[in-house]
Homo-oligomer: A and B are copies of this chain.
């Protein structure tokens, strides 16, 4: 059967993509990269693995063409090779969330108030943010805010919240978001804000989840 062999080639190619997303660390890298271009050093630090190992995993992603590398001075910056890679990550995650009980249990254990948004609650949040009824804060590092953020949100990275508490009008409800449902940043931000007497909650959406619902995303122009 000659045709069987050549047909297997097709599935092998798709399996290259499958193999690339078969490792938790590579998935974490993809999630980070969906927040924008990053250097190997930054990626390794965020995932808390050795740079050599990060480089090896990035090589696998690069060979499956899920990411692209670009030299930027002494650094090498990686980015997703297309928006369809973000969709693939969201798709994989949603299949896992739907079918794996273990994942739902783990999510419940890790996160305090896992508020999942519906189309309505997204629209109403957007409206309230527009009218200034709530303050939407983006607690990711500021670079990621610049690449894209929710409309009417302001950047207030977790690392700077304590120092910049005065920027938040007291009494007003604060809504924090970060990289998405697997990211702890907004969770810690809410804990911190509540301890300081703010009325704060978090939403599970990140920019990718928001955009996947067809909602608008704001971008700051490059310098």
Contacts and interface: CB of A to CB of B under 8 A. Distances in A.
A9 B7 CA distance: 36
Interface stretch (A50-58, A101-109, A150-158, A169-177): A101-109
Given A87-B91, A184-B3, A103 B14 contact: yes
A61 to B, nearest CB: 11
A119 interface: no
Contacts of A110: 3, 6-7, 9-10
B16 A18 contact: no
Contact of A109 (B6, B14, B92, B96): B6
Contacts of A10: 103, 106-107, 110, 182
A25 B109 CA distance: 35
A96 B48 contact: no
A12 B107 CA distance: 12
B96 A16 contact: yes
> How many copies of this chain sit in the oligomeric assembly?
2
A22, A25, A64, A102: residue with the most chain B Cβ atoms closer than 10 Å: A22
Contacts of A13: 96, 100, 102-103, 106
Contacts of A22: 15, 18-19, 21-22
A66 interface: yes
A93 B88 CA distance: 10
A99 to B, nearest CB: 4
A119 B190 CA distance: 46
A18 B184 CA distance: 22
A64 B167 CA distance: 46
A84 to B, nearest CB: 6
21 contacts: A6-B109, A7-B110, A8-B28, A10-B107, A11-B28, A12-B24, A13-B100, A13-B106, A14-B103, A15-B22, A15-B23, A17-B92, A17-B95, A18-B22, A18-B92, A21-B21, A21-B22, A66-B95, A85-B95, A87-B91, A88-B92
